[in-house]
A and B are shown apart, each in its own frame.
Chain A
Amino acid sequence: MSAAIPAMTTVAEPRRIEPPYMPAATTEPTWVRLSLIGIALLFSVLFLLIPLAAVFVEALKKGWEAYAMAIMDDDALSAIRLTLLTAAIAVPANLVFGVAASWAIAKFDFRGKSLLLTLIDLPFSVSPVISGLIYVLLFGAHGWFGAWLLEHDIQILFAVPGIVLATIFVTFPFVARELIPLMQTQGNEEEEAALVLGASGWRTFWHVTLPNIKWGLLYGVILCNARAMGEFGAVSVVSGHIRGETNTMPLQVEILYNEYNFAAAFSVASLLALLALVTLALKTFIESRLDHGEDTDPEEHTK
């Protein structure tokens, strides 16, 4: 048995790296293959590439000068600032939560773990509009805390704190979701070894756990950031659309578009589209690092 396993892996190995050996019986006829590739490409061009290209073409329709003017507009700049501020609060908050949750869930065994996992995923299955609405019900003028907040002159709704809260809600699961499976497959041995050798808990985390999960962590942060900067529905409910004050970039896009100021709307939108492209590029890069880590890890353990 033990001799058969290495023999099997050596047979399977080259097939994964080189273009697969395909006898005629297990591949499709050339015309089927070509038409499937054609359909896939046509569908992707129609639904992915053309919409993306349209953003940039529409943004530059009136030339570079108008483009620069639209972005340097005061309201647009304040929208950019607010979007950056929101992401700068929401992403670290969910990062800390994600690390804490994955440490508790992946490293320890306790009752109700699967329920906790479902609850962490919950914000993904709630409509963004509802994610905004729940904060209106809490902090709005007729909400649970509305009267108290009014008395103490604290503004949450239609102000930055509300926008940040709604953003934290919709991006809640991103980091935890990425880290939990990663930490579960890595197991506890390395941390246990560090502790047995006398390292403190924090030191173990910084020097053993963190290097192991850094790519997964970054992956979660990037996705979390993209959603935090691009969130529309939830933020639109709690923001109040005050120009130059509570408009994030996606909301600024909406306002400009509804005013038939299409070129300006697409100019601001093009910045968000660039963010999406950067996100995709980083994501692809990190995925290759994560795959790389998976490939080399078992070897390291057997050595």
Chain B
Amino acid sequence: MESLAPFRQKSHAKDFMNINKSALSRPFSGNRVLPGFQLTLGFTLLYLCLIVLFPLSALLLNTLSMTWEAFWQTVSSPRVVASYKLSFGASLAAASVNAVFGTILAWVLVRYQFPGKKLLDAFVDLPFALPTAVAGIALTALYASNGWLGQHLAKFDIKVAFTPLGVAVALVFIGLPFVVRTVQPVLEDSEKELEEAAACLGANRLQTFLRVILPTIFPAVLTGFALAFARALGEYGSVIFIAGNMPMVSEITPLLIITKLEQYDYKGATAIAVVMLGASFVMLLAINLLQAWMRNNSTKERK
């Protein structure tokens, strides 16, 4: 660039240098060579405020108009507490099932060759693409006492539909892609050399897996688990059909919000919603921390 500069007028040369400097300091140049910053950022903020922030703040402000006693009484009534237990427990169980089987799925998809692998890979995302209500009625039809799967389970006296177990089954379906899709890229990037080194040093395959592979993918498994858990906590559509919705037994927290709304108990619905929102924020924070850990882990490995 310096060889070009002397042939240019000074002001032009300066512009040129500026552009060049900004191009060097990629990826975030901080330059304003490109137009449209104010327009796009302004629009982004306006749209974000109108659609997301303003309505969400309405929820929080509405709770402020409640007294603390009224709020506490609503969110700690036995029926609501029973629903927390179910939502929390079933989500935990479903996310755990997904952590185990999702890791196996990711492993199989990355490491092995078998017919139908590409199809399976595409199908893993089905729970993201299939509307939750459709998943809900399909699972209910399958696990009802006269359904394809339910009638066989009934022989062993296992009831799935209209019990807490059914809630967990629906949540396993909903959370299935999360663990697979977070573990898969990490396994793809993991270095085979480390495993070879472990083998050379005399480790058997199980030792290599436990001491070399598992530490590499563990942050990803945990992140996928947290994502599946967070999604399961708020899930509604797929659960309400299979749950049976018996108060104190198989009633999830999101359904209670709807029930309160149908009784025109706006305050009660808002109070429960705020508790759920709090839980979501805690999960969001946890997931962000986990993802930072994941990134650290992978950059350390590169070095």
Stretch of A44-52, A69-77, A210-218, A293-301 lying at the B interface: A44-52
A52 to B122, CA, bound (A): 14
| Cross-chain contact of A44 among B47, B55, B58, B124 (Cβ < 8 A) | B124
| Cross-chain contact of B134 among A127, A128, A250, A283 (Cβ < 8 A) | A250
Would you call B139 an interface residue if the criterion is a C-beta within 8 Å of the partner chain's C-beta atoms? Answer: yes
Would you call A148 an interface residue if the criterion is a C-beta within 8 Å of the partner chain's C-beta atoms? Answer: no
Shortest B87–chain A CB gap in Å is 10
User: Is B236 in contact with A232, judged by CB distance below 8 angstroms?
Assistant: yes
Shortest B239–chain A CB gap in Å is 10
Chain A binding surface SS class? helix
B209's nearest neighbour on chain A, judged by CB, is A28
Using C-beta atoms within 8 Å of the partner chain, give the interface range for chain A: 35 or more
Beta-carbon contacts under 8 Å, B262-285 to A: 264, 266, 269-270, 273, 276-277, 280-281, 283-284
Chain B residues within an 8 Å CB radius of A237: 258, 261
User: Is B134 in contact with A55, judged by CB distance below 8 angstroms?
Assistant: yes
Q: A51-B139, A233-B237 are in contact. Are A273 and B134 (CB under 8 A)?
A: yes
* 23 CB < 8 A contacts A-B: A26-B195, A27-B205, A29-B205, A40-B108, A48-B126, A54-B138, A55-B138, A100-B44, A118-B288, A119-B53, A125-B280, A127-B234, A130-B273, A134-B58, A137-B55, A138-B58, A140-B266, A188-B22, A192-B23, A232-B132, A251-B133, A280-B122, A283-B125
What is the interface of chain A, defined by CB distance below 8 A to chain B? 19-20, 23, 25-29, 32-33, 36-37, 39-41, 43-44, 46-52, 54-55, 58, 97, 100-101, 103-105, 107-110, 116, 118-123, 125-130, 133-138, 140, 142-144, 165, 168-169, 172, 184-185, 187-189, 191-192, 195-196, 201, 204-205, 223, 226, 229-233, 236-237, 249-251, 253-254, 257, 262, 265-266, 269, 272-273, 275-277, 279-281, 283-284
Contacts A25-B196, A126-B277, A226-B129 supplied; 17 other A-B pairs, CB < 8 Å: A48-B126, A54-B138, A100-B39, A104-B37, A104-B44, A127-B236, A130-B59, A134-B55, A142-B266, A172-B51, A191-B34, A223-B128, A232-B131, A249-B131, A257-B137, A266-B141, A275-B129
